[in-house]
Amino acid sequence: MNPNRMLKAGEMFTLLFILLSLKATDATASLFTQKTQNAFWYMPIISLLVILPSLLLLLHLLKKYQDKNLIELIETIMGSLVSKIIGLIIFLSSFLLMGFSYRGYVEQINFLYFPETPYVILSLIFFTIVYFAAKKGWEVIGFTTKIFLPFFVLSSVILIILILNDLVIERVFPIFGSGDIIVLREGALKGSIFIELFLITIAYTSFKKTDFFRKGFVLGLIFSIISIICFFFIYATTFDYNSIAKMSYPFHDITQYVNLGGYLTNIETFFMIFWLLGSFLRYAIYLYLVTWIISATFHIEHIESLLLPVGFLGLIIGVISKNLIINEFTFYNSILNYLTFFYIGFPILLWLISSLKGEYRKK
């Protein structure tokens, strides 16, 4: 119980929902479809199933040790030194992913809506907004997402209704895409697209009751999976398997395609606003979580004072990777694959050590 905390299950739900479901609108879909063709729409389920045991184990441990967040939990079980190493790995991996995906988002805005504006300027503006949003603190982010969520959901529903007429359900067949083995393997390797689920456990103790965290966590996970699958299904049925593979931003292709009757034809900016607000919030959450992890690892009191350096370095990663494109897509792809093993592995390790320790204590 933390009576002085304000956040409840509703905020947890919205935080996780924004963090995860926006993945449906970025390049994740095209990343998935490269190897599995039209089977990519149900791949998130496979990815989730792969990491689910580890995730449940982690939640179980958090519940058992009570009132400890992710890093504190690792420290209690593994001791100071190992916890610093693991904390650092978690931080670095999430930091890199933040940098890369940050770049992806800014590039989408740059390419589709502000082609004349230099990338650096645009990412600086993006960064400034995200930084000020994150600086307001975890609770304000929570409330903001809660207020914003209905609008985001509404705009998505409008988009879905408008595109519904153009779906050709038969396009999901042949159901196994490029082959059942490939789909299973690729789905399993991409478990790390749900890395945010591990990151958000750093906020375990920031809710009024830890029950709220678990409740919001489960609900948020279920609903964001549904929304991701729903959007991926729409991509798979509007675009045939050859077309989707060469598309970088299927979400924006769909918003450009739909019309609101004969008079309102170019309406993509309407959806762009909500998407943009959503991605601001998503990065504010992301930045806060990443900073939280590093400050918890090294016991730094004020998270807010670290936001600026961490965020700015993330921005630099985005800019650098733009200048040294060594097929960034494959690079990102392989990082995701390696990370999956790490995130499956460390909760199991934690659990083993914790149960061994328990045995010792009994003796």
By the criterion CB under 8 A, which residues form the site for another protein?
37-39, 111-118, 121, 166, 168, 170-171, 173-180, 238-243, 253, 256-257, 259, 262, 265-266
Q: Which one-letter DSSP state was computed for residue 363?
A: -
Whole-number minimum distance, CB 116 to another protein, in Å? 4
Place of tokens 């390419």: 111
Nearer to another protein, 149 or 162 (CB): 162
Return the ∠ at Cα 190 (arms to 246 and 214), rounded to 5°: 125
In whole angstroms, what is the distance from residue 39 CA to residue 230 CA? 13
Q: Which two tokens stand for residue 143?
A: 């409330």
- CA dist list (Å): 278 to 15, 124, 145, 267: 11, 18, 8, 18
Q: Closest Cα partner for 225 from 196, 257, 256?
A: 196
Whole-number minimum distance, CB 31 to another protein, in Å? 18
Nearer to another protein, 85 or 175 (CB): 175
Whole-number minimum distance, CB 115 to another protein, in Å? 7
Return the ∠ at Cα 273 (arms to 165 and 320), rounded to 5°: 110
Whole-number minimum distance, CB 240 to another protein, in Å? 4
Cβ-based neighbour number of residue 334 at 10 Å: 11
In whole angstroms, what is the distance from residue 197 CA to residue 191 CA? 11
Whole-number minimum distance, CB 173 to another protein, in Å? 4
Q: b or e along 188-205 (b: 16 or more beta carbons within 10 Å of the residue's beta carbon)?
A: bbbbbbbbbbbbbbbbbb
Nearer to another protein, 40 or 213 (CB): 40
Nearer to another protein, 75 or 107 (CB): 107
In whole angstroms, what is the distance from residue 245 CA to residue 177 CA? 12
In whole angstroms, what is the distance from residue 249 CA to residue 252 CA? 6
Whole-number minimum distance, CB 87 to another protein, in Å? 39
Whole-number minimum distance, CB 171 to another protein, in Å? 7
Nearer to another protein, 122 or 188 (CB): 122
Nearer to another protein, 37 or 54 (CB): 37
In contact, 315 and 123? CB cutoff 8 Å:
yes
Nearer to another protein, 4 or 242 (CB): 242
Whole-number minimum distance, CB 322 to another protein, in Å? 17
Cβ-based neighbour number of residue 156 at 10 Å: 21
Peptide linkage before 53 cis (omega within 30 of 0):
no
Q: What is the 3-state secondary structure (H, E, C) of 82-110?
A: HHHHHHHHHHHHHHHHHHHHHHHHHHHHH
Nearer to another protein, 131 or 212 (CB): 131
Whole-number minimum distance, CB 127 to another protein, in Å? 15
Q: Which two tokens stand for residue 166?
A: 């153009």
Nearer to another protein, 106 or 339 (CB): 106
